[in-house]
Chains A and B, each alone.
Chain A
């Protein structure tokens, strides 16, 4: 397939996935803001959200005060914010339009319709009255876009590049989410403190929180369940662990569990599988890097990861994902000179 076509497909999928993850993040923060909490804690949540997308500086420069409406408007409909849902959906649609002949009619129409409807929905501020409905809608359109892709497209290179785009972006987004949310509670795991060995291995049922006050437990519960909900992982967690919500388990679920569709391990598995299908003469090194990253996740242990420090681990992961993205561009997407 044409390199340029593959490039458009890759980015179409990435932008759609990014829109979805942004909606998920916003929704969790919004839901949290409905709980009784200090103004400080609330602001911290919105700040963290801007931090994930590396937008704190831009926001402060252009909007000043962090209020829920300000941040949501900025992240949903602001045309000047390159990472807003609006710009993601438009970029997804423009990339799709550039290669609409490669997509099935259903895939193209889904992208086009999403963009057209979105413009209507954000024509004024009324969506801010019930932002969750908007976020649900974005998630739904992303599900639809992925589903219609899987359900209608021929499984050829076009399909593989779409999948690579989706999962590379999702790996990036999940890692960022974890990073900022673990940071937010200034968790003991975050900075590199070695925690008690054995406590978080396998199905170990450490009961560390029994020392905490009841109020802390409550705050923790909503914090960690919020993270889980943002990746549709709350019920999954219960099913997988049948236990109270523990931070290290949350981290394990979102980093290492290959059966959790938004975990880093699951995303990298998909990236590797699809990369192998499009391999060409010059892609060996990129494949090797992807495979190694996937193997690190497959054979990793959460206690080791936490021992080295989650932030350091995730920072390194994001760098490796970034390098992979560059490699994929170089090997497949950017037209090589004759």
Chain B
């Protein structure tokens, strides 16, 4: 484990400069007032229906048949604060990283220069389950594949105790969470308006505008006034709230697969005034379910013939099909080299040092050090399918060892970084809890983002898993303008 790093406190008593204003304010608050604010926040979230569905969750409320599996994501009152200069660096690094990732995806579906140059091994790309041969030679508008990217960033102390940001994971398929970023800010401004008059917090509410601008900018070239829609798997999907929220905020239709059909390689939606052509689909449905004719035949979430219309260039899918080839954990270790290869620049953001178990030496090291490493399935997501060595039992470690030996290329390993902590309200008062950060990067004609992102917090003491499906909460994220 690396040394601890707290976002607010340096050592036990010193408050970091960018948190001093907040700290003074917090010290002046009565604890019962803060408690009632927490209750108010929960009440509002429930009324607004900012919920997510938990798969397989048991219905605890006997009175309700459907509402029982809608859960609130815990919201913490103490914001995560990022100083302007740190964000400025991060923003540059994010734009650079996403630009390179988009170049990479274009490359692997066209000339495969990066493979020919021997930088990424061919089998890592071509044998990847996320590699979509259907996309070979298909040109997408502007050569942009990942229009919405969620880049997970953590901070950990380096050897001299200074915090350093690392990219933990790239999410280039259907990253979610941006609605919580927006709702958390709305909630903070409602509960504590005075904090915003005392601090220069960079606004984030224009995200839906940027998103719509991005989506419109990647419409098929022949369309002047594109019709943009959000495609959702439906109201039982865990992120349904977000799908509905974004569609509403952008003022566009929220469609399900059954609302769409393809005729003569064009996509239409069924409306009360007859069929209407659709030009851009912000799809929140995985590749596998998009088109039963091309991918999973049992899918009822997609639209038959969609791939054909897409390949013909008559509709834009956002994100493109096949982006998963670039956000896989087995590709992650190559991203810094991609940046150098495509952009000729030094990577601004660091990767977490990663051992690729497919390499013999790396595997040997990993097997010898399982008790202190984090081991991840390369195709895993959502905090499932991973081993956190220091927190695991002997039996769990041995189970993982067997799995590793059986299929080394299915795993990567990283040092157990102690994610930075941020003071958080818990049962016993305020205590440090581990956090991460997911900024959302939009790529269209230009690369844009709103300052900050979604901060997730692991509410269980000592836990490093921030995923909302595993009891994580969220915090408002402030980028303080200088």
Contacts and interface: CB of A to CB of B under 8 A. Distances in A.
B256 interface: yes
Contacts of A123: 63
B406 interface: no
Contact of B261 (A101, A281, A338): A338
Given A97-B235, A101-B244, A101-B247, A116 B272 contact: no
Interface string A1-29: 11111100000000000000000000000
B459 interface: no
A338 B268 contact: yes
A6 B244 CA distance: 15
Interface stretch (A35-43, A105-113, A209-217): A105-113
Contacts of B268: 338
Nearest to B254: A101
B66 A116 contact: no
Contacts of B255: 2
A258 B471 CA distance: 57
Interface in B31-79: 46-49, 61, 63-67
Contact of A2 (B47, B65, B259, B262): B259
Interface string B231-257: 000010000000111011000011110
A335 B270 contact: yes
A109 B253 contact: no
Contacts of B271: 1-3
A2 B245 CA distance: 17
Interface string A85-109: 0000010001001111110010011
Nearest to B251: A101
B248 A101 contact: yes
Interface residues on A, range: 35 or more
A79 interface: yes
A6 B272 contact: yes
B116 to A, nearest CB: 44
B47 A109 contact: yes
B248 A1 contact: no
A93 B464 CA distance: 37
A4 to B, nearest CB: 5
A338 B67 contact: no
B353 interface: no
B159 interface: no
A281 B275 CA distance: 12
A contact face: mostly helix, strand, loop, or mixed: helix
Contacts of B248: 100-102
A1 B253 contact: yes
A101 B282 CA distance: 15
A108 B66 contact: no
B321 interface: no
Contacts of B235: 94, 97-98
Interface in B256-281: 256, 258-259, 261-263, 268-275
Given A1-B253, A2-B259, A100-B248, A79 B269 contact: no
A157 interface: yes
A150 interface: no
Contacts of B61: 119
Contact of B259 (A100, A105, A157, A335): A335
A2 B259 CA distance: 7
B431 to A, nearest CB: 31
A219 interface: no
Contacts of B256: 4
Interface string A265-291: 000000000000010110000000000
B96 to A, nearest CB: 34
Nearest to B66: A94
Contact of A278 (B63, B64, B272): B272
A31 B338 CA distance: 77
Contacts of B254: 5, 99, 101-102
Contacts of B63: 79, 119, 122-123
Interface string A148-185: 00000000010001000000000000000000000000
A21 B52 CA distance: 33
A281 B259 CA distance: 19
B156 to A, nearest CB: 39
Interface of B: 46-49, 61, 63-67, 235, 243-245, 247-248, 253-256, 258-259, 261-263, 268-275
30 contacts: A1-B271, A1-B272, A2-B255, A2-B259, A2-B272, A3-B271, A3-B272, A4-B259, A79-B63, A79-B65, A97-B244, A99-B244, A99-B254, A100-B49, A101-B254, A105-B48, A108-B49, A109-B48, A113-B47, A115-B67, A116-B46, A119-B61, A119-B64, A119-B67, A280-B272, A332-B272, A335-B259, A336-B270, A338-B263, A338-B268
Minimum-distance CB pairs A-B, first 8:
A101-B248, A101-B244, A335-B270, A101-B247, A338-B261, A332-B272, A101-B254, A100-B244
Interface of A: 1-6, 79, 90, 94, 97-102, 105, 108-109, 112-113, 115-116, 119, 122-123, 157, 161, 278, 280-281, 332-333, 335-336, 338
Given A90-B65, A105-B48, A157-B272, 11 more contacts: A2-B271, A5-B254, A6-B272, A79-B65, A94-B235, A97-B49, A101-B244, A102-B248, A112-B48, A338-B262, A338-B268
